[in-house]
Structure 1
Amino acid sequence: MPATTLRHIAPVFVTTDLDRALRHYRRLGFSVEAYAGADFYGYARRDGLEIHLATVEPIDRATTTSCAYVWVDDAAALHEEWSAAGVEGRLHAPSPTEYGLDEGAHVDPDGNLVRFGSPSSRETHGDAR
């Protein structure tokens, strides 16, 4: 039996520019703040989720491996919201998977990946006879 219960997890995403990263996640609907006025660490929070942002130099955007998966109520609605925000980076529309989820993704300007998914709105697996 475990000695304690795990309560929360917060991925740490790297950035070369904390101010830019905080602005980016604010436009995605997160509340953001720098750690005690520091220019090297900050937080982005939304709906009980938390992403930490840490300044690291240099970053190879082609090989950055920070990633988080976010379960959402409606992946298509989140994609529409983030599309309307007009943020930098890459945004991929959700598509149905063979395992019953609609999944999309966003890669921020530093190469950090946020994948998101919700139960599929379409039948994508099994026999439809």
Structure 2
Amino acid sequence: MSHDHPAVRVSPIFPVTDLQRALDHYAALGCAVSAHDDGYGFAAMAGVELHLVVTPGHDPLRTAAAAYLHVPDADALAARWADVPRTGPPVDTDYGLREGAHIDPDGNLLRFGSPLASEG
């Protein structure tokens, strides 16, 4: 495989109903936030950039999005987000990860996980 190509990045696009509320919410999670215009914004943290787009007719129960964050320490991230509503504490899984979750005001899901510490 050739290595002359720049690294590929991904920016999940999350539908929102109120851009300012979404920007304020992601700022509370520790993201750097900015608005492109009245209907499109960005939330960035640790190399991840989410795009937030005002979506007419968005139904948080039906049309929400999700992203998975692979983090070095799920417990540390959960502790940082503990004061923000709808952050679930991490649990050990049977597939070798410690995972938690956060749901934003528009129903978008951020799952996050880190490898379980090796036993032995």
* TM-score where L is the length of structure 2: 0.89
Distance change in 2, residues 1:62/1:72 (3 Å): same
- Partner residue, 1:56: 55
Checking the alignment, whether the CA contact within 8 Å between 1:14 and 1:66 is kept in structure 2 is yes
How do 1:38-57 residues align onto structure 2 when only pairs under 5 Å count?
38-57=37-56
Q: Which has the higher helix share?
A: 1
Q: Distance in 1 between matches of 2:50 and 2:108?
A: 11
* TM-score where L is the length of structure 1: 0.83
The Cα of 1:122 is off from its aligned counterpart by 7.0
Letter in 2 for 1:50: E
Checking the alignment, whether the CA contact within 8 Å between 2:92 and 2:116 is kept in structure 1 is yes
Instruction: Provide the secondary structure at the position in 2 that maps to 1:78.
Output: helix
Checking the alignment, whether the CA contact within 8 Å between 1:96 and 1:122 is kept in structure 2 is no
Which runs of 5 or more structure 2 residues have no equivalent in the other structure? Answer: none
Q: Distance in 2 between matches of 1:56 and 1:6?
A: 30
Checking the alignment, whether the CA contact within 8 Å between 2:17 and 2:55 is kept in structure 1 is yes
- Partner residue, 1:81: 80
Letter in 2 for 1:64: T
Checking the alignment, whether the CA contact within 8 Å between 1:65 and 1:112 is kept in structure 2 is yes
1:111 corresponds to which of 91, 94, 107: 107
1:92 corresponds to which of 88, 107, 120: 88
Quote the RMSD (CA, aligned, Å).
2.0
The Cα of 1:5 is off from its aligned counterpart by 5.9
Q: Distance in 2 between matches of 1:23 and 1:57?
A: 20
How do 1:11-22 residues align onto structure 2 when only pairs under 5 Å count?
11-22=12-23
The Cα of 1:47 is off from its aligned counterpart by 1.1
The Cα of 1:14 is off from its aligned counterpart by 0.6
The Cα of 1:61 is off from its aligned counterpart by 1.3
- Partner residue, 2:27: 26
Checking the alignment, whether the CA contact within 8 Å between 1:75 and 1:94 is kept in structure 2 is yes
What is the percent sequence identity of the aligned residues?
47
